[in-house]
Amino acid sequence: MNNAITDWIRPEIQQLSAYHVPEPGEAIKLDAMENPYQWDLIDKWLQTLQSAALNRYPDPAAREVKQQLRAVMQIPDTMEVILGNGSDELIQMLALTLNGKGRILLAPEPSFVMYRLIAQVVGMQYVGVPLNPNNFSLDRVAMLDAIKTHQPALVFLAYPNNPTGNLFALEDIEAIIETTPGVVVIDEAYAPFTDKSFMSREYSNVLVMRTVSKLRLAGLRLGLLAGPQDWLEQIDKTRLPYNINVLSQISAVFALQHYGVLEKQTRQIRADRADLLEQLKAIRGVQVWPSETNFILFRVADALAVFNELKKQGILIKCLHGSHPFLENGLRVTVGTPEENRAFLQALREIIV
Ligand SMILES: *Cc1c(COP(=O)(O)O)cnc(C)c1O
């Protein structure tokens, strides 16, 4: 290999494998927790875009977007808000802000892979604590022990969790919040699909993260962090000044003005999730876990074979086999349109008889 690369690229970066996203092609795409629905507002949206001042820098504080988000996500006035280019960028800002020699980022496992990946990229030490392997609840004793031992600067809890789909117990999270010396981030990416939230519970060391990605707006790249003003003021210093571009700002404001449409789609997805879950359960040889998200985790005898055969038939889901020992032969399917779900179930039944 090129010596300059081996000499100068940090070993942690050289050892990383980049986050891999497969080419969707023409597939029925049920792999990435996207909302499958179109909307009939395209003409109106395009009209709004005509006023986009691309010659100007965007509003660095994205005030209008924030105002809309505050309203639809019911963010208390006492909480400050920062926006990110997707919540991925917010995770990176948090890691950059709380990083330092020997600083620890801690999360339960299996959970969202970006926590570990971003810790490694910024040079923070990562500690993963196994969940209970049967139902993926928090192992409270193990978490509290790890927190006492490692004194983490940052703890990430996805609520509900990805890729397991469940909510952690409130008492477990409260114990973690009390024990953590640094900040606990509650990642509520799947808030549209559950009734539970930490948004209105105010703690001095808790930040709540949301995104519009699972709300039909994954292409916008827009996430938000809400929490006490004193913390956010510091984190905001690592934000690049114009991180939410003009087109995203205009489109977000437009989309959130039509929030009713998104809510209706979300309700439909929640209802279809229940159907999909029941149908999956009825297939012999399939183990299914309950879900508070827009995806379902399930296990089959040979996940890779099922994944590949579905793919051959033009249906793309996510194979979790090999990503964590607890996810052996695990697959994750995003709830699609009723037609997509039917096509998926039909193909699955034929593959595993
Ligand atoms: C999908 C997901 C996100 C989304 O991040 P964006 O960058 O906003 O698209 C964040 N956290 C979890 C747990 C997720 O599953």
Instruction: Provide the pLDDT confidence category of residue 73 given band limits of 50, 70 and 90.
Output: very high
According to the model, what pLDDT value does residue 145 have? 98
At residue 351, does pLDDT exceed 80? yes
**pLDDT, mean of residues 276-285:** 97
Task: Please write the tens of the pLDDT for every residue from 288-331.
Answer: 999 999 999 999 999 999 999 999 999 999 999 999 999 999 99
3-state helix vs strand vs coil in the chain, percent to 5: 45, 15, 40
Q: Considering just the CA atoms, what is the radius of gyration of the chain in Å?
A: 21
pLDDT-above-70 percentage for the chain:
99
Tell me, in angstroms, the distance from the centre of ligand 1 to residue 118's CA: 13
The predicted structure's pLDDT at residue 39? 82
pLDDT tens, position by position, 215-261:
999 999 999 999 999 999 999 999 999 999 999 999 999 999 999 99
The stretches of the chain forming alpha helices (DSSP H) are 3-8, 11-15, 42-49, 63-72, 87-98, 113-122, 140-150, 170-179, 229-235, 246-257, 259-281, 303-312, 338-352
Q: What average pLDDT does the segment 79-107 reach?
A: 97
Does the pLDDT value for residue 1 go beyond 80? no
Number of H helices, E strands in the chain: 13, 13
Distance 349 CA to ligand 1 centre (A): 30
pLDDT band at 121 (very low <50, low <70, confident <90, very high): very high
* Pairing relationship of beta strands 183-187 and 206-211 according to DSSP bridges: parallel
What's the pLDDT score for residue 202?
84
* pLDDT recorded at residue 79: 96
130-135 average pLDDT score: 96
HEC per residue, 274-310: HHHHHHHHCCCCCEECCCCCCEEEEECCCHHHHHHHH
How much is the pTM?
Answer: 0.95
Q: Which of 312, 308, 306, 318 is nearest to 352 (CA)?
A: 306
User: Does residue 310 line the site of ligand 1, with CB under 6 A?
Assistant: no
pLDDT band at 40; cut points 50, 70, 90: confident
Beta bridge partners of 223: 84, 211
Per-residue pLDDT at 353: 81
Q: What is the pLDDT of residue 301?
A: 97
pLDDT at 266: 96
Given ligand 1 and candidates 19, 34, 83, 114, which is best to mutate, with the most ligand atoms within 8 Å of its CB?
114
Q: What is the DSSP letter of 333?
A: E
Q: Whose CA is nearest to atom 11 of ligand 1?
A: 189
pLDDT value, residue 24: 66
Q: Give the model's pLDDT for residue 317.
A: 97
Pairing status of strand 104-109 against strand 80-84:
unpaired
Count the neighbouring beta carbons within 10 Å of the beta carbon of residue 140.
Answer: 17
pLDDT score for 69: 98
DSSP designation for 167: P
Q: Which of 213, 224, 243, 332 maximizes ligand 1 atoms within 8 Å of its Cβ, making it the mutation to test the pocket?
A: 213
Other beta carbons within 10 angstroms of residue 267's beta carbon come to 12
What is the side-by-side order of every strand in the sheet holding 183-187? 80-84, 223-227, 206-211, 183-187, 154-158, 104-109, 125-130
121 to 14, 160, 205, 251, 279: CA distances (angstroms): 10, 25, 24, 31, 41
Any ligand 1 atom below 6 A from CB of 111: no
Any ligand 1 atom below 6 A from CB of 34 = no
In the three-class reduction of DSSP (H, G, I as helix; E, B as strand; rest coil), residue 3 is classed as helix
The token pair that represents 106 in the structure block: 């801690």
Q: Is the pLDDT of residue 162 over 90?
A: yes
pLDDT, one tens digit per residue, over 25-38 is 678 999 999 999 98
Q: Is the CB of 107 under 6 A from ligand 1?
A: no
Residue 130: predicted pLDDT: 98
What's the CA-to-centroid distance between 31 and ligand 1, angstroms? 13
For the chain, domains (ranges, CATH) are 3-39+260-352 (3.90.1150.10), 54-258 (3.40.640.10)
Please give the distance, rounded to the nearest whole angstrom, from the Cα atom of residue 147 to the centre of ligand 1: 24
Which residues face 130 on adjacent strands? 109
Indicate whether residue 162 lines ligand 1 (CB < 6 A).
yes
